[in-house]
Amino acid sequence: RAALSNELSGSEVIVVSNREPYIHNRTDNGITLQIPASGLVAALEPITRACGGTWVAHGSGTADRETVDTYDRVAVPPGHPSYTLRRVWLTEEEQDGYYYGAANEGLWPLCHIAFVRPVFRETDWRMYRAVNAKFADAVVAEAKREDPVVLVQDYHFALLPRMIRERLPRATIVTFWHIPWPNAETFGICPWREEIIDGLLGSSILGFHTQAHCNHFLEAVDAYVESRIDRERDAVTYGGEETLIRPYPISIEWPPAALAGQKSVEECRAAVRQRLGLPPEMRLGVGIERFDYTKGIIDRMKAIDTLLTDYPEWKGHFVFAQVAAPTRSKLANYRQLQEEAEALARDINVRHGTEGYEPIKLLVRHHEPDEVFELFRAADLCVVSSLHDGMNLVAKEFVAARDDEAGVLILSAFAGASRELAEALIVNPYNAHAMGEAFNRALTMPLGEQRERMRLMRDQVRERNVYRWAGQMLLAASRLRKRQRIRRVI
């Protein structure tokens, strides 16, 4: 952490993301603070806390808009402020076009390849462009120097790096794409492909979670724009400027803040079982995500159905608690997913349940990090069955939560995290039968084996934590700045 601040000492850091790290909501109990369910926030918040500076994000809470004067620019985290949260306000029309439309009906399914057809509306794209320009205005207004380090986050801002470059040519722009990048052929169906590539190549450094995503991006550059690609250095020269393309596997802070103040694993086990109305000896699996079709929630329920059919001895002895935080509910396919999951849970509970026993508990509400960590500590197993995921930080959080070194992680081969957490039970979420087997294997795994696997995974997450993720990116940025400075002097 200290190295991070040193690396940046004397530089101005501005982070830009759509999602804000703290949401102020107006409730019957006054203004309350919510930490959103977002891997991006989980990763970047500790970094911004360590570096200081400004975080520019969309103001999304219900309290914000009514009290713009107070909540326009807030010092956060509450109680120990170390950076400024600068909110950008969006109209409903802007959110519909930019966030729901272009970003989440267009780019999200395009990049995830979860067999949901992307929707490309010209009107959405115009709004996406306009909102990116609005954020560029905010970054320029916040910048106190002509050469800030700007950390642009995610698929909401593909055009922003170029827009910032045009107005702050000496800025060091590091962009990180938090979701997968598809192969060039798949990306090629996007009507905005050239503009997206042009926008991203305004960055000094462009990061993805894995080398495979970097390779896919380079293939797309090669296929769709005039440029020179140096494959040895993974660098693209475009319009006379160079962009480095690099893999930076994102991670979590170690130890995670939510672990502080947690009760012992035994106490968590007892408390969670009591809250869920389960007997103390009930075996428990957990899944924790936003209600998103990329997360494979339906597929994991089908696997539980298979488990209870093929291994009926688990009936009455195993419960799966699925936390599903509502998300993007304005979009029809997100609402349909929730309806489908609720119907499937009911059906499985009717077919395999008995008086007083329901194998699936669907907990449809946002859970704060403390509650999530308590569930992780209470569980015998955790399932991450994404159909496709850039990294997936839930998998890493589960591992970090288990300081007792027990518990089994069942992890999709199609989540970036499977590259690093190879000691999980790696599954194909599309194969309900094999996943059902994995559940049984997890439930019967001897404690010694659980510990061996968990220790290796914990070493990995401890070592490759989020400070390292940010440190590598910022180190690359600082080298670049030094080189540019020397070149200017020469």
- Smaller CB separation from ligand F6P, 85 or 179: 179
User: Which residue of this chain has its Cβ atom nearest to ligand F6P in the complex?
Assistant: 38
**CB 180 to ligand F6P: min, Å:** 10
In the complex, the residues that contact ligand F6P under the rule CB under 6 A are 18-19, 38-40, 154, 178-179, 290, 327-328
Q: Distance between CA atoms of 37 and 295, rounded to whole angstroms?
A: 14
**CB 398 to ligand F6P: min, Å:** 17
**CB 339 to ligand F6P: min, Å:** 19
- Smaller CB separation from ligand F6P, 179 or 341: 179
**CB 34 to ligand F6P: min, Å:** 12
Answer for the pair 468, 420: CB distance below 8 angstroms, yes or no: no
485-488-490 Cα angle (round to 5): 110
- Candidates 283, 438, 470; CA nearest to 359 is 283
**CB 302 to ligand F6P: min, Å:** 24
- Smaller CB separation from ligand F6P, 178 or 216: 178
- Smaller CB separation from ligand F6P, 178 or 396: 178
- Candidates 98, 112, 215, 210; CA nearest to 160 is 98
By CB atoms closer than 10 A (0-12, 13-18, 19+), residue 44 is: buried
Helix (H, G, I), strand (E, B) or coil at 395: helix
- Smaller CB separation from ligand F6P, 41 or 476: 41
- Smaller CB separation from ligand F6P, 95 or 306: 95
**CB 200 to ligand F6P: min, Å:** 15
**CB 108 to ligand F6P: min, Å:** 7
Q: Distance between CA atoms of 110 and 158, rounded to whole angstroms?
A: 14
CA distances to 71, 217, 314, 315 from 433, rounded to whole Å, are 50, 34, 16, 17
Six token digits for residue 96: 């519909």
**CB 44 to ligand F6P: min, Å:** 9
**CB 418 to ligand F6P: min, Å:** 17
Identity of the residue numbered 430: Y
Phi and psi, residue 264, nearest 5°: -65, 160
Helix (H, G, I), strand (E, B) or coil at 210: coil
Query: How many Cβ atoms are within 10 Å of 395's Cβ, its own excluded?
Result: 28
What is the C-alpha end-to-end distance of the chain, expressed in Å? 33
Task: Tell me the β-bridge partners of 90.
Answer: none
- Smaller CB separation from ligand F6P, 209 or 269: 209
Sheet holding 149-153, edge to edge: 73-76, 83-88, 54-58, 13-17, 149-153, 172-176, 205-208, 241-247, 235-238, 228-230
- Smaller CB separation from ligand F6P, 300 or 328: 328
- Smaller CB separation from ligand F6P, 246 or 328: 328
**CB 122 to ligand F6P: min, Å:** 22
If you ran DSSP here, which 8-state letter would residue 366 be given?
A: -
Query: 235-238 and 241-247 as β-strands: parallel, antiparallel, unpaired?
Result: antiparallel
**CB 331 to ligand F6P: min, Å:** 10
Identity of the residue numbered 101: G
- Smaller CB separation from ligand F6P, 154 or 299: 154
Q: How many residues does the chain have?
A: 490
- Smaller CB separation from ligand F6P, 49 or 269: 49
- Whether the bond between 36 and the residue before it is cis, its omega within 30 degrees of 0, is no
**CB 86 to ligand F6P: min, Å:** 17
Q: Distance between CA atoms of 52 and 15, rounded to whole angstroms?
A: 10
Answer for the pair 190, 118: CB distance below 8 angstroms, yes or no: yes
**DSSP per-residue letters across 307-352:** HHHH-GGGTTTEEEEEEEE--STTSHHHHHHHHHHHHHHHHHHHHH
- Smaller CB separation from ligand F6P, 154 or 234: 154
